[in-house]
């Protein structure tokens, strides 16, 4: 994922920006629910609606990839009921949305150690990935049981094993080779990372990939995120000057 050629995506006002890949830390479901005196699950449910809206908008705008932090490797620390609610919503989302995703040419992809999920959910996820594998539109990437440090550890372990087996020369390890071994291999370089709900940290999301990404923090709570919010973020991105370490 080194900075490469960028194809323009439409941004509001008729302009274009060289934005290919956007990632979102979807935060604020709990606060959204709390403000309405609703249970947390109601916030996650509305969060699922925001996922639907945002994937549709990203496809229409012409992004190549949208990566959503749907379940972090740290989310296992939540109460078991909440974890079950999140898993249930994921099942519901796939069941309800797979036809539309497929119809709209969306290619679904997964990053993270999602094999730790329940076998039926893993099966459902992999069936959705297989069904949409040849689509040519937006690549919608769900980060599931994902942690950026864990991803790098997994790459290091695989490389160390290959070196031990004599199939990898340690001197051949460079940035491109690591890129090619990450869960995100083959995706366009990450251009823009958005975090909702006013929190200002990366929370272990796409740590390697964010090296030259623009970061954008918005106070909007994730369940309120919509096409207009995505367009605002893209407009802000378009106004930034990216130097990739140069002058
Ligand atoms: C953070 O809100 C959000 C999550 C824990 C994960 C995102 C989950 C969804 C959007 C629901 C369904 C997703 C899919 C893909 C179907 P929070 O609970 O941390 O909010 P808080 O910080 O306000 O408590």
pLDDT tens sequence across 38-75: 999 999 999 999 999 999 999 999 999 999 999 999 99
What is the number of residues in the chain?
247
Query: How confident is the model over 130-148, as a mean pLDDT?
Result: 98
What domains sit in the chain, N to C, each tagged with a CATH number?
18-147+189-237 (3.40.1180.10)
E strands, 86-191, are: 107-111, 139-146
* For ligand 1, mutation pick of 24, 29, 32, 129 (most atoms within 8 Å of CB): 29
Both structure tokens of 117: 């999920």
**Percentage of the chain modeled with pLDDT above 90:** 89
Burial class (CB in 10 A: 0-12, 13-18, 19+), 78: middle
Give Cβ neighbours of residue 30 (< 8 Å, ≥ 6 apart): 40, 43
Say what the pLDDT of residue 9 is: 66
Q: What is the pLDDT of residue 246?
A: 81
**Residue whose pair of structure tokens reads 């730790």 in the numeric block:** 116
Q: Which helix (H) or strand (E) holds 222?
A: none
Please state the atom number of ligand 1 nearest to the C-alpha of residue 142.
Answer: 15
Residue 27 CA, closest ligand 1 atom number: 1
Determine the pLDDT at residue 12: 56
* Whether residue 85 has its Cβ less than 6 Å from ligand 1: no
Spatial contact of 55 and 106, defined as CB atoms under 8 Å apart: yes
Rounded-to-integer distance, Cα 129 and Cα 109, Å = 6
Instruction: Give yes or no for a contact between 9 and 61, defined as CB atoms under 8 angstroms apart.
Output: yes
Contact in structure between 136 and 165 (CB atoms under 8 Å): no
């Amino acid at each position: 994922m080194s900075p490469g050629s960028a194809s323009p995506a439409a941004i509001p006002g008729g302009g274009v920006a060289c934005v290919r890949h956007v990632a979102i830390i979807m935060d604020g479901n709990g606060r959204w629910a709390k403000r309405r005196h609703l249970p947390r699950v109601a916030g996650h449910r509305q969060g699922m609606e925001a996922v639907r809206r945002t994937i549709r908008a990203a496809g229409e705008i012409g992004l190549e990839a949208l990566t959503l932090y749907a379940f972090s490797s740290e989310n296992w620390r939540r109460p078991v009921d909440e974890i079950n609610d999140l898993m249930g919503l994921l099942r519901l989302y796939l069941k309800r949305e797979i036809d539309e995703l497929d119809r709209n040419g969306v290619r679904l992809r997964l990053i993270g150690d999602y094999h730790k999920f329940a076998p039926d959910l893993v099966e459902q996820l992999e069936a959705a990935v297989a069904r949409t594998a040849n689509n040519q539109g937006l690549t919608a990437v769900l980060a599931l049981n994902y942690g950026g440090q864990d991803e790098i550890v997994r790459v290091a372990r695989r490389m160390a094993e290959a070196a031990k087996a004599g199939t990898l020369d340690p001197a051949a390890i460079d940035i491109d080779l690591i890129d090619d071994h990450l869960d995100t291999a083959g995706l366009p370089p990450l251009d823009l990372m958005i975090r909702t709900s006013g929190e200002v940290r990366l929370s272990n999301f796409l740590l390697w990939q964010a090296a030259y990404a623009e970061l954008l923090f918005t106070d909007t709570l994730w369940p309120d995120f919509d096409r207009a919010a995505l367009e605002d973020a893209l407009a802000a991105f378009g106004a930034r000057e990216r130097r990739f370490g140069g002058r």
